Amino acid sequence: MDYRFATPEDTPLILYFIKELASYEKMLDEVVADEATLREWIFEKKKAEVIFALENGKEVGFALFFHNFSTFLGRAGIYLEDLFVMPEYRGKGYGKGLLKVLAQITVERGCGRLEWSCLDWNKPSIDFYLSLGAEPMKDWTVYRISGDTLQELAKG
């Protein structure tokens, strides 16, 4: 199995994988990202990174991640925003391989942890993560402010 970091030329492919993941999660109507926005934020502003899993040179899965920070650990971590393997390539080790590469990057960069969120109904993914030794954070709830609510809060 081969893996590679995305380049700016991969922006259409990144958007494709994002939409495939959103479709799987029944959230395709929430995707407003476009190629220009992804190119700006991933490659120009360098706010995220993408790794592809390859089979015979073809991209069959991807992971999009970025650095976060733990004040308790006093160091950065890696937050996995998206992990997706095309359905016809699942069960071949690509998802585990992507997480292994991310774990290696986390360790190489001296980061304190690798973490992500998963939809509560996504039992196949939850079972997969548990099989790798991942621990659900049962005492934590994710909160979000976005859209009009974000704009109103920013105005004060």
Active site residue 24: no
In 3D space, the residue among 58, 54, 50 whose CA is nearest the CA of residue 5 turns out to be 50
- As a whole number of angstroms, the distance between CA 12 and CA 146 comes to 25
Q: Which residues are CB-contacts of 97 (< 8 A; sequence separation ≥ 6)? A: 1, 3, 53
- As a whole number of angstroms, the distance between CA 149 and CA 133 comes to 37
pLDDT per residue as tens, the chain (156 positions): 899 999 999 999 999 999 999 999 999 999 999 999 999 999 999 999 999 999 999 999 999 999 999 999 999 999 999 999 999 999 999 999 999 999 999 999 999 999 999 999 999 999 999 999 999 999 998 999 999 999 999 998
Q: Can you give the pLDDT at residue 1?
A: 81
Q: Can you give the pLDDT at residue 148?
A: 94
Residue 76 near residue 101 (C-beta atoms within 8 A): no
**pLDDT (tens digit per residue) in 31-72:** 999 999 999 999 999 999 999 999 999 999 999 999 999 999
Q: Can you give the pLDDT at residue 84?
A: 97
The SS3 assignment for 52 reads strand
Residue 78: Cβ-neighbour burial (10 angstroms; 0-12, 13-18, 19+): buried
Catalytic residue chosen out of the listed positions 3, 89, 129, 143: 129
Q: What angle do CA 87, 88, 94 make, to 5 degrees?
A: 75
Q: Can you give the pLDDT at residue 66?
A: 98
Q: Can you give the pLDDT at residue 114?
A: 97
Q: Can you give the pLDDT at residue 153?
A: 95
